[in-house]
């Protein structure tokens, strides 16, 4: 019975999943075991699922969520940005962690879903763990979210770039010519600082070597 319910929800559109009522969710979850509730969360998407569980308070509760973002770099040193459909800003590929998922799996899955590019775990370079007020996002529906974000750099990937319905378009940008309306300026600034730090380390190494 539970499998039938979960399959029905899988076939719903994203909008239909978001429109599930609190009463619907209570009825559905009453038929599920813990592992099936975790599966339901991953089918709906953890942030949406969490808010649905809050009933009438869903847009009032400030949500703390974990996720990962990717600095995808091409051979010219440009980084990939997506023009987001929800707010029109240019942001990094990435998204929220699902229940039971490692961050490495999160970014590999999100990059595949949003860009169609294939990433191997060995090619993930951890840049920083980013949290705090710079990670606060406010949405038009009233949602306020603080994102704890694992930031990766990815220089090796395969596949043909193709974006899903979360993006209007995707482009590689020079670091010196980034769009003004950015969604993740703090993450990009951290990436820039990591490049300068690596450059300084190389220069210091060369001086010591002399």
Q: What is the pLDDT of residues 150-202, one digit of tens each?
A: 999 999 999 999 988 878 899 999 999 999 999 999 999 999 999 987 655 54
CA dist 163 and 85 (Å) reads: 11
142 belongs to a structural domain: yes
Does 49 lie in the same domain as 70? no
Residue 43 lies in a domain: yes
Instruction: Using pLDDT thresholds of 50, 70 and 90, give the confidence band for residue 209.
Output: low
User: Do 114 and 140 fall within a single domain?
Assistant: yes
Task: Say if residue 72 is in the same domain as residue 25.
Answer: no
Token pair 């450059």 is found at 199
Q: Is residue 80 part of a domain?
A: yes
pLDDT band at 207 (very low <50, low <70, confident <90, very high): very low
CATH of the domain at 106: 3.90.79.10
Assess if residue 204 is contained within a domain.
no
Residue 164 lies in a domain: yes
Return d(Cα 83, Cα 170) in angstroms, integer.
Answer: 6
Question: Phi/psi class of residue 201: alpha, beta or left (left: φ > 0; alpha: ψ in -120 to 50)?
Answer: alpha
Question: How many residues does this entry show for the chain?
Answer: 210
Shared domain check, 149 and 88:
yes
Residue 210 domain flag: no
Rounded CA separation 188/91 (Å):
9
At residue 100 the predicted structure's pLDDT band, cuts being 50, 70 and 90, is: very high
User: How is 131-194 classified by DSSP, letter by letter?
Assistant: -SGGGEEE-TTS-EEEEEEEEEEE---BS-----TTEEEEEEE-TTS--SSBS-HHHHHHHHHH
Q: Are residues 132 and 188 in the same domain?
A: yes
Examine the domain organization and report whether 72 and 49 are in the same domain. no
Query: Are residues 175 and 88 part of one domain?
Result: yes
Q: Which residues on neighbouring strands pair with residue 146, listed in sequence order? A: 64, 136
Cα separations in angstroms, 61 against 50, 54, 78, 135, 191: 10, 8, 38, 16, 31
Same domain, 187 and 101: yes
Are 118 and 157 part of one and the same domain? yes
Q: Verify that 30 and 114 share a domain, yes or no.
A: no
Q: Measure the CA–CA gap between 174 and 190, rounded to whole angstroms.
A: 16
Over the stretch 118-148, which tens digit does the pLDDT of each residue have?
A: 999 999 999 999 999 999 988 888 899 999 9
Domain co-membership, 70 together with 7:
no
Query: What does pLDDT average to over the chain?
Result: 91
Whether 50 is covered by a domain: the verdict is yes
**Which domain range does residue 32 map to?**
2-57
- Residue 187: what are its φ and ψ, rounded to 5°? -70, -40
């Amino acid at each position: 019975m539970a499998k039938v319910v979960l399959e029905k929800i899988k076939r719903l559109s994203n909008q239909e999943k978001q429109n599930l009522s609190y009463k619907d969710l209570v009825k559905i979850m009453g038929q599920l075991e813990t592992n099936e509730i975790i599966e339901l969360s991953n089918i709906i998407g953890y942030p949406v699922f969490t808010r649905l569980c809050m009933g009438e308070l869903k847009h009032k509760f400030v949500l703390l969520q974990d996720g990962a973002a990717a600095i995808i770099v091409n051979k010219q040193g440009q980084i990939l940005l997506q023009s987001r459909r929800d707010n029109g800003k240019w942001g990094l590929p990435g998204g929220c962690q699902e229940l039971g998922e490692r961050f490495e799996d999160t970014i590999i899955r999100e990059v595949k879903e949003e860009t169609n590019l294939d990433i191997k775990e060995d090619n993930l370079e951890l840049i920083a763990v980013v949290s705090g007020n710079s990670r606060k996002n406010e949405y038009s529906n009233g949602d306020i979210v603080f994102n704890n974000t694992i930031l990766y750099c990815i220089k090796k990937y395969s596949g043909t770039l193709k974006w899903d319905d979360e993006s209007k378009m995707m482009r590689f940008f020079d670091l010196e010519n980034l769009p003004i309306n950015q969604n993740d300026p703090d993450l990009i600034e951290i990436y820039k600082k990591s490049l300068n730090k690596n450059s300084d380390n190389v220069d210091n190494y060369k001086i010591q070597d002399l």
